[in-house]
Amino acid sequence: MTTFNDFGLHADINRALAAKDYTVPTPIQTQAIPPLMKGRDLCGIAQTGTGKTAGFSLPSIHHLLTYPHRPTPRGCRMLVLAPTRELAAQIAQSCRDYGRFTKLSVSTVFGGVPINKQIRDLAQGVDILVATPGRLLDLIDQRALRLDDVEIFVLDEADQMMDMGFIHSLRRVAKLLPSRRQNLFFSATMPKEIAHLAEQFLEDPVTVSVTPAATTVEKISQFSTFVEQKEKQALLHSIVASEDIDRALIFTRTKHGADRVVRHLAGAGIKAMAIHGNKSQSQRTHALQAFRSGDIKLLVATDIAARGIDVSGVSHVINFEIPNVPEQYVHRIGRTARAGAEGKAISFIAPDERPYMRDIERVTRSKSEPMPLPENFNELVRNLPKPVAPPRDTGSQGRDPNRQRQEANRGRGGGKPQGERGPRRDGPAGEGAEGQRKRRFRPRNKSVGAHKSAVKRVG
């Protein structure tokens, strides 16, 4: 197949592709679309940026248009599961783009936003539903969604689903799906546990693979610098000032680390935003839109939050902290050098991270080029601007409602969150509002307690 017209897709789909000036399919699209149009199950091994979303959405939309009928109330004809909110929103937008000249309905459901609007959107049924596992099961438990009419089921980024602990949710979803359906399973890597999960969903699948697991893109120039952990911020400021950056993704291992990097950059007058699981959905969406539009050039992210994000024009990937899983390094640097462009990946390696880098080089079968520290680096470290103070926590405003509910439940359970040194004072988290009320009326001295005992005896 040399053009999309060769696939025999529905005329409305070809019209949408022409409007986006898409003519030549990518390798995974060439391999996946023909068997999917025949109704076969498919197991695809492909990383983000290979064109897999179009690879599964185009033939699926073709099926929905070829066999048209109204979705049942509270039902959907095609279900796509994605591990993160950003990836779910991205897939849904692609489906809308490819179905723009059709009457197919597309809905997205994920946590972090009010559930009532999602319930209303699903009441009449939708053709295509893109969801994260947690919110999907919430809607099912509230009887706002049923899966017994699903014709096409897509599981995207299966390895990330496993890493995020969604395995039990996926098994529950599998039991709710009808036995007769078409299954599409995508994963960037295929270790034994992922292959076993695939067996539970797929029946006599066609397997397609592009970009073998744990290999790096040829057009990415990889550099590494050995530096002390406490000096990494100074090195980042130097690179941002000296490199010709169009857009840069900066990766940290932790959510607090991402916020700390942003505050240090702000202290130096450098505009950046962070995206991670502690951010509310509106904050994450705003940061991603600002990065896409060019309002900010630097986006600081954790691995989970950045998984599946496909933003064009990323010229640099900076590993502020090295991942301890080699495959994660491949996912990170794969955010640059998209669509034939060149990219640059720079890794900051602290002494305790050197074993991680050796593992990465062994798995990827490549070595990064050493990048020396700037000549005036000691001066940069001494004169590092102070970070901007974090915003004062004024309560639950702007916080993720799911996180608030989790904290409240954790407080009612009587235990402190792991790693927390004491009860929180900013709301229902910690020991919980109920516990605070009880403590407020606790006797403060013996005389009060004795008075209550006397009252009891008299009664």
Residues 189 and 296 in one domain: no
3-state secondary structure of 401: helix
pLDDT, mean over the chain: 83
Residues 137 and 165 in one domain: yes
pLDDT of residue 216: 55
Lowest mean pLDDT among 89-103, 204-218, 377-391: 204-218
Lowest mean pLDDT among 30-39, 215-224, 421-430, 437-446: 421-430
For 50-60, write each residue's pLDDT tens digit.
Answer: 789 999 999 99
Whether 330 shows a pLDDT value over 90: the answer reads no
> Is 399 a domain residue?
no
Residue that terminates a domain, selected from 186, 209, 232? 209
pLDDT of residue 423: 34
The model's confidence at residue 308, banded by pLDDT at 50, 70 and 90, is low
Q: What is the CATH number of the domain that holds 81?
A: 3.40.50.300
For 295-305, write each residue's pLDDT tens digit.
Answer: 999 999 998 76
The model's confidence at residue 219, banded by pLDDT at 50, 70 and 90, is confident
Residues 46 and 194 in one domain: yes
Q: Which distant-in-sequence residues (6+ apart) come within 8 Å of 302 by Cβ? A: 251, 252, 253, 254, 255, 258, 275, 276, 277
- Average of pLDDT values for 381-406? 64
Give the number of other Cβ atoms within 10 Å of residue 323's Cβ. Answer: 21
Whether 439 shows a pLDDT value over 60: the answer reads no
> Is 224 a domain residue?
yes
Residues 139 and 257 in one domain: no
> Is 273 a domain residue?
yes
pLDDT of residue 365: 82
In the chain, the percentage of residues whose pLDDT exceeds 90 is: 59
Highest-scoring range by mean pLDDT, 39-43, 208-212, 441-445: 39-43
Residues 44 and 179 in one domain: yes
Residue that terminates a domain, selected from 166, 190, 209? 209
Whether 425 shows a pLDDT value over 70: the answer reads no
Residues 229 and 260 in one domain: yes
- Alpha-carbon span 86 to 124, nearest angstrom: 25
> Is 418 a domain residue?
no
Residues 284 and 318 in one domain: yes
> Is 417 a domain residue?
no
- Alpha-carbon span 174 to 200, nearest angstrom: 8
In the chain, the percentage of residues whose pLDDT exceeds 70 is: 81
Domain, as residue range, for 247: 220-382
Enumerate the β-bridge partners of residue 155: 81, 185
> Is 442 a domain residue?
no
- Average of pLDDT values for 21-40? 93
Q: Which distant-in-sequence residues (6+ apart) come within 8 Å of 350 by Cβ? A: 226, 227, 228, 229, 232, 321, 322
Lowest mean pLDDT among 135-139, 175-179, 239-243, 311-315: 311-315
Residue that terminates a domain, selected from 209, 244, 262? 209
> Is 449 a domain residue?
no
- Alpha-carbon span 185 to 162, nearest angstrom: 13
Whether 431 shows a pLDDT value over 70: the answer reads no
pLDDT of residue 51: 85
For 220-266, write each residue's pLDDT tens digit.
Answer: 899 999 999 999 999 999 999 999 999 999 999 999 999 999 999 99
Residues 176 and 241 in one domain: no
- Please tell me the total count of domains within the chain: 2
Residues 203 and 225 in one domain: no
What ranges make up the beta strands (E) of 248-320?
Answer: 248-251, 272-275, 298-301, 316-319
Number of alpha carbons in the 13 Å side-chain half-sphere of residue 368: 29
For helices 11-19 and 85-98, give the axis angle rounded to 10 degrees. 110
> Is 289 a domain residue?
yes
Lowest mean pLDDT among 17-26, 127-136, 165-174, 384-393: 384-393
3-state secondary structure of 82: coil
pLDDT of residue 392: 60
- Average of pLDDT values for 33-39? 96
Residues 268 and 197 in one domain: no
Residues 150 and 254 in one domain: no
Query: In Å, how far from its chain's centre is CA 8?
Result: 33
pLDDT of residue 455: 42
Q: Which distant-in-sequence residues (6+ apart) come within 8 Å of 171 by Cβ? A: 200
Lowest mean pLDDT among 134-143, 169-178, 200-209, 422-431: 422-431
| Contact assessment for residue 13 and residue 65, using Cβ atoms and an 8 Å cutoff | yes
Residues 198 and 247 in one domain: no
Could you say which DSSP state residue 417 is in?
P
- Alpha-carbon span 183 to 8, nearest angstrom: 21
Whether 136 shows a pLDDT value over 80: the answer reads yes
pLDDT of residue 353: 95
Could you say which DSSP state residue 108 is in?
E
